[in-house]
Amino acid sequence: MIDSTITARAAEHNLERLPALEEDYGHLGRQLARRGIAIDQLLERALRFRVAVPSWAMGSGGTRFGRFPIAGEPRVVFERLEDAAQVSALIRVTDGVSLHFPWDLPERHADLKSAIAASGLQVDSTNSNTFQDQPDQCHSYRFGSLTHTDAAVRRQAIEHNTQCLGLAEYLGARAHTVWIGDGGNFPGQVHARRAFERYVDSLRQIYARLPDGCRLFLEHKLFEPAFYSTVVNDWGTSYVAAKELGDRAYCLVDLGHHAPNVNVEQIVARLIHLQKLGGFHFNDSCCGDDDLDAGSIKPFQLFLIFNELVDADREGVVGFDPAFMLDQSHNVTDPIESLMTSAIELVRAFVQAHAVDREALAHYQATNDAAMALQTLKQAFTTDVSPILGMARYRAGGAIDPVAAYRASGYRRRKAAERPAVAARAVPI
């Protein structure tokens, strides 16, 4: 399924770019050695890093004001998997794909399973959709799903999640993520306490059907589509629900789902402490749930989040095993390019976090030396680890310069001919 022109262009480019990469890698290696860091160990870390891509981000995104599709974007799950396979081939860290149902539901489940196998990808998580109505469903989610006042609507939403869990088991997903849009647009519309009680009650029924080896992730979001009182609006709410459910329920942190200026890295630290950090939806934002490319607006925040993660990992915190995923909406870029560069920004932050002098940081924290503590973090954050990232991609069989190789391959242009726009099922992102 990997496009042979992409592979060929990447191989040609790599030949041209390798001498400069080796020079830069050697120089960075000497720089890091002066700080007591072995570059090969950072390379090892980079090679082991993994982040899953969301199937629903493979097509152009949009806002409620409009969507501007690009020619050659995928129309069905099989084409989304095909594009995900190219992303993975070029950058070699995204061999997991997350699926969204019913958007990714083909007529026969077996077709999906074989397409996943053929793509060389694995299913990372399944995601349910009770924030939209589907043409064939009995009850509307206009006024909520898992927290709806009508038990029949709740049952329908629970049933949908149960079907997702069946697919999770069948496809070997490691997690199922629930995000609901439930809430109120006006004061008084929703009974705040009852809505949360109904949420937990519905989740209990979903949790009871969780397949072996699969975790349940609860995703919070400050607002939208509900504009006044979202039921699962913050990490505290999702923590309480996860705790009530049991050991296999965790909180998922989508970076864009907080109020502006919220200290997300501290939320991460809290959830690690509580042993309830399930995973992430990485993206970036300026104003709200913008779903922009990870690291494009606040790269320092991304680094600080990875700083917490690396710290916990090195300390061996019990039960610490967060799942990484991108969750973005590509409104003005080619999704393949955005996903590649975003995944690379994650590896960058991860490697930089491994370059933090933790002994020095601990000393400055113990002695209340705020200036030097920040400097210690900044030293790692300002280290240009690009040669490590490029070398990791090269060693793993990917492209030293993935976007250049992708553009030179003409993949999207060829897909535009193969995938004429149809009025088929729209894939809202």
Give me the residues that bind ligand RM4 (CB under 6 A), please. 56, 127, 179, 219, 221, 254, 281, 289, 327
Q: How far apart are CA 58 and CA 84, in angstroms?
A: 7
Considering only 83, 265, 327, 334, the residue that binds Mn ion (CB under 5 A) is 327
Closest distance to ligand RM4 from the beta carbon of 222 (Å): 10
Q: What values do phi and psi take at 315, rounded to 5?
A: -80, -15
Cβ-based nearer residue to Mn ion, 199 or 280: 280
Q: How far apart are CA 31 and CA 27, in angstroms?
A: 6
Q: How far apart are CA 374 and CA 360, in angstroms?
A: 11
Cβ-based nearer residue to ligand RM4, 55 or 307: 55
Cβ-based nearer residue to ligand RM4, 254 or 401: 254
Closest distance to ligand RM4 from the beta carbon of 103 (Å): 9
DSSP 73-121: ---SHHHHHHHHHHHHHHHSS--EEEEEETTT--S-HHHHHHHHHHHT-
Residue from 303, 249, 295 nearest 276 by CA: 249
> Residue 67 forms beta bridges with which residues?
62
Residue from 423, 405, 421, 427 nearest 91 by CA: 405
Closest distance to ligand RM4 from the beta carbon of 96 (Å): 15
Closest distance to ligand RM4 from the beta carbon of 289 (Å): 6
* Residue 290 touches Mn ion, criterion: CB under 5 A: no
Q: What values do phi and psi take at 93, rounded to 5?
A: -125, 0
Helix (H, G, I), strand (E, B) or coil at 219: strand
Query: In this structure, are residues 220 and 255 in contact, taking their beta carbons and an 8 Å threshold?
Result: no
DSSP 193-209: HHHHHHHHHHHHHHHTT
Cβ-based nearer residue to ligand RM4, 215 or 221: 221
Cβ-based nearer residue to ligand RM4, 46 or 231: 231
Closest distance to Mn ion from the beta carbon of 325 (Å): 8
Residues near Mn ion (CB under 5 A), total: 4
User: Which residue's beta carbon is nearest to the bound ligand RM4?
Assistant: 179
List the single partner that 215 binds among ligand RM4, Mn ion, none, CB under 5 to 8 Å by kind: none
Residues 250-279 that bind Mn ion (CB under 5 A): 254
List the single partner that 127 binds among ligand RM4, Mn ion, none, CB under 5 to 8 Å by kind: ligand RM4
Cβ-based nearer residue to Mn ion, 145 or 352: 145
Q: How far apart are CA 351 and CA 362, in angstroms?
A: 19
Closest distance to Mn ion from the beta carbon of 144 (Å): 18
Closest distance to Mn ion from the beta carbon of 167 (Å): 19
Residues 197-256 that bind Mn ion (CB under 5 A): 254
* Residue 281 touches Mn ion, criterion: CB under 5 A: yes
Closest distance to ligand RM4 from the beta carbon of 418 (Å): 26
Please choose, out of 72-80, 89-97, 197-205, 280-288, the segment that lies near Mn ion by the rule CB under 5 A: 280-288
* Residue 289 touches Mn ion, criterion: CB under 5 A: yes
Cβ-based nearer residue to Mn ion, 13 or 330: 330
**Cβ burial, residue 34 (10 Å; 0-12/13-18/19+):** exposed
Cβ-based nearer residue to Mn ion, 54 or 184: 54
The amino acid present at 42, given as its one-letter code, is L
DSSP 218: E
Joined tokens for residue 195? 């809505």
Closest distance to ligand RM4 from the beta carbon of 164 (Å): 12
Helix (H, G, I), strand (E, B) or coil at 216: strand
Cβ-based nearer residue to Mn ion, 132 or 379: 132
> Residue 98 forms beta bridges with which residues?
54
Q: How far apart are CA 362 and CA 376, in angstroms?
A: 10
Binding site for Mn ion (CB under 5 A): 254, 281, 289, 327
